[in-house]
Amino acid sequence: MPHASQPPRAPFPATRDPAVLADIARYLRKQVVRMVARTGQGYVQQGLGAADIFTTLYFSELNLKPQEPAWEDRDRFILSTAHNTAIFYATLAARGLIDLALLDTYCEDGSPLEINASERLGPMIEATCGSLGQGLSVGAGMAAALGRAGRPGRVYVVLGDGELQEGQVWEAAMAAGNWRLDNLCLVIDANDMQVEGHVDQVQANEPLAAKWEAFGWRTQDIDGNDIAAIQAALRRARDERGQPHCIIARTLAGKGAPTLEGILGHNLRLPADIAARALDELDMQEA
C-alpha cells in the first residue's frame, strides 16, 4: 500500500490470532506516523513502541462493546501517560469507539482529539490524566469500587517508566497491594525514555520487578513488542487471583520503522520526508 493512499478500512473486529494482531499493530503504527506528520512534531516514538500493547489490549483482551462504550460491565482502560494520544486515538478508531475521520483533526484547535486525552471526547475516556502519575490512583479506586459492587469488569492502566518517578504512583501501588485488588492490571511501557532523556540518566528505577513485588503485586517482565508474550501475560494476570498484577513491558521507541527505532525523542520532530520514509518501511514489512 503506498504511503499516500488511505489506510485499510476500519473498524476491525476483536481477535486472538497473533498474526492478525500483528497486522493491526502495523496499521496503527502507520496511523501514528500519519497523525503526527500533519503537525510535524509529536509523540510518535511512544506510539510506535507501544502499538503492540494497545493492539493486544483492545483487540484481544478488553471486554467491551464498541457500540455501547458506557456498558456497565465493560473493562476499564486508563491511559496515565495521557500525552501518548496518537496511538490511543488510532486504536479507539480502529476498534470502532470513535469516528475514523476524527483522526484527521488530531491536535487541531477545537478538536476533541486533544494532545492529552480528555473525557470531553466521550465515555471511552475513563479519566482525564493530564498530570503524570495520576492514572494508577484512579484505576485503583475504580477497581476497588467494582470489586465492592460485585461487578465483573477489570481495570487496566498503562504507565510510562519515567512516570514512575512520581510519588503518587507508589502511594497507589501500596494501597492496591494492601487491598489485594486482583481486578487491577498495570502495564508499564518501559521504553527507557522521558522528556529529559534516558530514564537511567535522570532517575534510575531498576530493579522494577522487585519493587512491585515488595508492594504486594504479582509481576511479569516481558518483551512489550511480542504480541504472543503480551497475550500470555494478560491471560495470567486475569487467571491468577489474590493480588494486583504488574506487567513490565519492555518496548523499543520507534518500533517498526528502522529510521526511527531507538531514537529517544519524547516530542519528536517529524519532517515530511522522514515520515514518508517511515511509512515506506512499514509498507515493506507488510509486503
Half-sphere exposure of 255 (CA within 13 A, CB side): 25
Position 159: which residue type? Answer: L
Average pLDDT across the chain, whole number:
90
* pLDDT of res. 39: 85
Q: Which of 55, 65, 64, 47 is nearest to 17 (CA)?
A: 55
| pTM score, whole prediction | 0.93
pLDDT given at position 197: 60
pLDDT value of position 196? 65
More confident site: 227 or 192: 227
Is the pLDDT at 90 greater than 50? The verdict is yes
Please, which residues bridge with residue 122 across strands?
none
Domain ranges of the chain: 18-286
| CATH number for the domain whose boundaries are 18-286 | 3.40.50.970
Taking the C-alpha atoms of residue 37 and residue 44, their distance in angstroms, rounded to an integer, is 9
Judged against a pLDDT cut of 90, whether residue 15 lies above it is answered with yes
Read off the pLDDT of residues 155-208 as tens digits, 9 standing for 90 and up.
Answer: 999 999 888 989 999 999 999 999 999 999 999 999 877 666 666 776 778 899
Confidence at residue 102, expressed as pLDDT on a 0 to 100 scale: 92
For 26-80, the pLDDT digits (tens) are 999 999 999 999 888 788 888 999 999 999 999 999 999 999 999 999 999 999 9
